[in-house]
Amino acid sequence: MILRPFALIVILSLSACTTIYQNQKQDDPDWAPSFPEFPDNEFDNSGSIYNVATAKMLFQDKKALRIGDIVTVVLAENTRATKNADTELSKDTSVSTTAPVIFNNPASPLNVGAGTTDLGVALTSQNAFKSENDSKQSNLLTGTISVTVQKVFANGNLAIRGEKWIALNQGKEFIRISGFIRPEDIDKDNQIRSTKVANARIFYGGTGVLAESNEEGWLSRFFNSGWWPF
């Protein structure tokens, strides 16, 4: 009876892993774009043609600098990791005890059945363990995504966030990214590489039939996970 709640917890935890992207939806308020909010006094007619909010510099590239501005992130993620481990342990133990001596006389062997048993004791134990591990992983993500500036900090750095959804024949795919950038890293085309986004959070996933078909069943994941003791 005690194992039933434990098994239920394991099943629910494993099934939740498969729905982490399946439950994603569009128009999530946490990923909603930000829009510029200018005070009304910035648009008051003060008799001057120049306005700070809408000014365009003649000798400066148009870049994202304010809340609500759009900047294009060029996804150029290429990671590769390799890990090798080789462990070998061995232990040999040997214990022997001769026949006891009683009053300076060795103890005589015992007659057991038709044979003779020595009173000496000998114990030998050997343990060996060997493990080899070879793991390789590589990831490649390319493309572009346009996001909006969420916040401008006192040092000039910008907080960006945005998403892109693509509807396919049998489902949807999405890309989400957030992080912090420097205005100096934005090029003349108002683009910045994802490798220059600090504290970057990049999510790529999908929903629908195609995404579900690529997921391993919860029972198979249980037998292949660390929860399985054998």
Summarize pLDDT for 45-57 with one digit per residue, the tens.
555 565 555 555 5
Residues of the chain with pLDDT under 70: 1-23, 37-61, 99-121, 208-230
The residues near 212 (Cβ < 8 Å, ≥ 6 apart) are 18, 22
Q: What is the pLDDT of residue 145?
A: 95
Specify the pLDDT at position 148. 94
Sign of the C-alpha dihedral, residues 140, 182, 148, 55?
Answer: negative
Q: What is the pLDDT of residue 1?
A: 47
Task: Express as a percent the part of the chain with pLDDT over 90.
Answer: 27
Structure tokens at 217: 């069943």
Phi, psi of 220 (to 5 degrees): -65, -40
**pLDDT value, residue 113:** 52
34: DSSP letter: P
pLDDT value for 87: 82
